[in-house]
Structure 1
Amino acid sequence: MKITAVEAIPYAIPYAKPLKFASGEIHVAQHVLVRVHTDDGVVGVADAPPRPMTYGETQAGVVAVIDTIFAPAVVGLGLMEREEIQSRLNRTVANPVAKASLDMAIWDAMGKTMGYQVTELLGGYTDRMRVSHMLGFDSPAAMVTEAERMRDTYGITTFKVKVGRRPYTLDTAVVRALREELGDGIELYVDANRGWSASESARAMKEMADLGLTFAEELNPADDVLGRRWLVQQLDVPFIADESVSTAAEVTREVLGGSATAISIKTSRTGFTQSRRVHHLAEGLGLEVVMGNQIDTQLGSICTVAFGAAFELTSRRAGELSNFLDMSDDLLAEPLEIHDGELTIRPGAGLGVEIDPDKLSHYRQD
C-alpha cells in the first residue's frame, strides 16, 4: 500500500452550456486528472477543477505544485498514513484544489486496495443523495425553461439560483419567475458569489421574502466583516458560507464571528480528509450543511456524492451534483445518470469509476 507515483494530467473539455455567475464564467473545463499509483498495482483517481476567480489556482499551477512539491512529498508513504500525508501537504500554504484532488485519489486507491467503497470507509450512512441543480445567469424565461427541463427530465426539484448582478432586480425577477412558474413543489435558494454589497443583499432578500427561499449563500464578501455580520443578523433564512470556509478554522471564524449560520462543503477544495473534519465541526456546532459544486465533472460529482452519502447530516439536503450535465463530454468510461432526482454512489471498491483511456488521450493537453 505504498505510493509509488503521482500523475497530474491537464485536460480540457468544452461546456455545451457555459455557466455564468457573479465572480466569473466557465466555458471550458480546464481541469487536472490526478492519479495515484501504489506498489500493489492499484491506481486511485480524482479531479482537480482550478478556479482562479475563487482560490487563485490555475491548471498549470495545479500541475506544477503536484509534480514539483506534493508528489515528492508523498511518494514512499503508505495509503494509511493519512495524517503524515496531510502534514506534508500543509507545509505548502493554500493550493486547496491541488491538495484535495491528491487526497481523494489516495482514498480511492485505499478503497480499491481494501475492497471497500469510499462511502463505506467514510461513514456508510446511505448510498444516494437528492440532487440540486445550479442555474447560471440568463433571462427569467431561459432560466425557467432550464429548471423545467431538469425537473421533467431528471426529476430534480431543488435549484440553486445564481444571483449577484446589478441592479439586483435582475435577479429578484428571475427568482420570482421560477417560483411563479414552477410553484411550491420546488425548493429554491440563492447564491450571489459575493457579488452584492451588504445593503444590496438586504434589499434583495427583503424583495424576495415572500418566495420561500431555503438559504442565501455568500451574498456579499466575507472581508466586509461588519457588513456581513449586520446582514446575517437581519435574515430569516440560514446564511451559507462557501468560498469563505475552505478550512475548518475558517468555519470556526465565520460562525463564531456571526458571519454565517450554515456552510457548504466542497470535496473539490477539502478532499475527503479535511471535509470530514469540517463535517464533524459543523455537526458539533449544530450547523446546516449543503454539499456544494465547483462546476464539477462527473468524477468530481461522484466524489461529492461519495462523501455526502457517508453521513446523515450531509445527506439531509439535496447536493449540488448535476452541472456535469452541461458538459459536452466527460472522461468516465461509464457516464453518471440521475434518476428521480437522485444520484447514487457507484458499486465497486473505491469510487467505483474508471477513466476511459481514449477520451483521456483525446482531451489531455500535455
Structure 2
Amino acid sequence: MLIDRVSAVRVRIPYRRSHTQSFGPVPYSEAVFVRVSTDSGVEGFGEACVPAGPYWNEESAESMLAACEVYLGPRLVGADPRALGAVQDRMRVVSGNHFAKNALEMACLDIAGRAAGVPAHDLLGGVRRRDVPIIWSLGIGDAAAELDEMAEMHERYGIEIFKVKVGHEPLAHDLERLSRLAGGLDGRVRLRPDANQGWDEATALRALPVLEQLGIEALEQPLPRWNLTGLARLRNASRVPLMADESVLSPQDALTLAREGAVDLFALKLAKSGGTLPTMAIAAIAEAAGIGCYMGCMVESGLGTAGYLHACAAVPDLRWGCALLGPLLLAEEVLTEPIRFANGRIFVPDGPGLGVLPDWDAVHALAVG
C-alpha cells in the first residue's frame, strides 16, 4: 500500500462565542483538512488547526496549506502510510511546521487503522481508557457570563473542571475573576488558570498565594516558553502544581524540563509536537520522570479531536484529563457522526482508524481562499 495523492482544503469555522487568550480575543478557528489517498483505495483524513492566525505559534492556515500541498504532501507520495516512523522521517526534510505534519501523520494513522480493521489506538500500544474527563475552557473574560456558561456546561455535559484563560487583563482583574469563579457549581468547581505565557515571574509570584488560597488545581504556562529557569524557581515557591504547555513542544523539551525539575505537569498536544508518535514519546518521558499529563488542543473540529482521543486512549497516564473542547465550542459540525460527550467525559470513537468520517459537503461549505 502506497500513498498516491495528498490533497488539502482550508476552512474557517466560527466559535460559538469569542475566546480570549493572553494575546487577545479569538472569534474563529482556521483549519486545514487533509485527505491522503492510496493505490489500494484506502483513504485517511487529518486536521491542522490554529486559533485565527499565527498567534499561538508561527503557523497559520496559509502556511499549513502550503506545507501540506507544496512540500510535505509530495514527500509522502510513494510512502507506505502504515509505516508511521518512516512517514515522520520523510517529513523531517521540512523544518518546523509541526501542525501540518500532525495533520498528515494523523491521516496516515487513520489509513493504517482502516487497512487493519482496528481503531487507531490499537496501533499505539492498545487501549488503556475509552473515555477521559473533559475540561471546559472559559475565555469570555467576564465572571458573570462565565458563571452562567459554567452552569450550562455542567447541566448539559456534567463538566466540573474548568480551564480559565488569564493574562490578557491586569493581574488584579484576573484574580478577582478567579475568586468569583471559584464559588461556582455550589463550590464543586475545579479551576485551572492558563496564562499562555502572559505573565512574567514577578506577576506569577504575586499570584501564587491567592491561587493557593482559592484551591486552584494547577497553573498552566505562566511564563514565556523559554524561561525554564524561571519556571523552576516558580515551582520551588509554589504549592500549586505548574504545567508546561508552550515550553514542552518536543521530547527534547520534555527531557530538559524533567531534568531541571521545572514543572509538575505536561500539557500534551499532537499539533505542537508534530504528531502522535512524538507526543507518545513525551508521555513516556513524563511517566519515567513522575510528571503528570493532560491533553490539550488547538480547538480542532471533531476530526482532529478524534485523532487526539486515540492518543488519549493509549498514553500511559492521563489522570489530569483533557480539554478537547473544539466540537462543543465550534459553531459548525463537520463529521457525519459527532464526538460524544456525557457525564463529564469525552468518549473515544471505536471504529476502524480514527473512527470518524468528515462530512465533505459541510467542510467545503466552510472553505476559504
Q: What range describes the TM-score normalised by the shorter chain of this pair? A: over 0.9
Structure 1 equivalent of residue 310 of structure 2: 306
CA distance in 2, matches of 1:111, 1:203: 49
Structure 2 equivalent of residue 195 of structure 1: 198
- Kept in 1, the 8 Å contact 2:221–2:246? The answer is yes
What amino acid does structure 1 have at the position aligned with 2:280?
R
Select 1:275's aligned residue among 272, 275, 279.
279
CA distance in 1, matches of 2:114, 2:56: 32
1:246 aligns with 2:231: no
CA distance in 2, matches of 1:322, 1:361: 22
Aligned residues: 365
1:18 aligns with 2:18: yes
CA distance in 2, matches of 1:279, 1:136: 27
Identify which range, 19-28 or 147-156, moves more after superposition: 19-28
Structure 1 equivalent of residue 147 of structure 2: 144
- CA deviation string 1:30-67 (max 9, x = no partner): 11001111112111111101351122011111111111
What amino acid does structure 1 have at the position aligned with 2:157?
Y
Structure 2 equivalent of residue 220 of structure 1: 223
1:318 aligns with 2:321: yes
Cα separation, partners in 2 of 1:355 and 1:259, compared to 1, 3 Å: same
- CA deviation string 1:284-337 (max 9, x = no partner): 1111101012122222222222211223402x2221022431221021111223
CA distance in 2, matches of 1:242, 1:181: 26
Name stretches of at least 5 consecutive residues in structure 2 with no aligned partner.
Answer: none
CA distance in 2, matches of 1:299, 1:213: 32
Structure 1 equivalent of residue 41 of structure 2: 41
Shift of 1:225: 4.4
Select 1:93's aligned residue among 92, 95, 98.
95
What amino acid does structure 2 have at the position aligned with 1:347?
D
- Kept in 2, the 8 Å contact 1:154–1:341? The answer is yes
Q: TM-score, normalised by structure 2?
A: 0.94
Alignment of 1:285-296 (within 5 A): 285-296=289-300
Alignment of 1:1-366 (within 5 A): 1-51=1-51, 52-122=54-124, 123-270=126-273, 271-314=275-318, 316-366=319-369
Identify which range, 224-233 or 123-132, moves more after superposition: 224-233
CA distance in 2, matches of 1:234, 1:252: 22
CA distance in 2, matches of 1:156, 1:285: 30
Q: TM-score, normalised by structure 1?
A: 0.95
CA distance in 2, matches of 1:183, 1:236: 24
CA distance in 1, matches of 2:245, 2:228: 15
CA distance in 2, matches of 1:251, 1:312: 15
Identify which range, 178-187 or 53-62, moves more after superposition: 178-187
Identify which range, 78-87 or 242-251, moves more after superposition: 78-87
Name stretches of at least 5 consecutive residues in structure 1 with no aligned partner.
Answer: none
SS of the residue 1:208 aligns to: helix
Shift of 1:130: 1.2
SS of the residue 1:31 aligns to: strand
- CA deviation string 1:142-177 (max 9, x = no partner): 111111111111101111111113421211112211
**RMSD, aligned α-carbons:** 1.6
What amino acid does structure 2 have at the position aligned with 1:199?
A
What amino acid does structure 1 have at the position aligned with 2:202?
S
Shift of 1:139: 1.2
Cα separation, partners in 2 of 1:295 and 1:328, compared to 1, 3 Å: same
Shift of 1:258: 3.6
Shift of 1:80: 2.9
SS of the residue 2:93 aligns to: coil
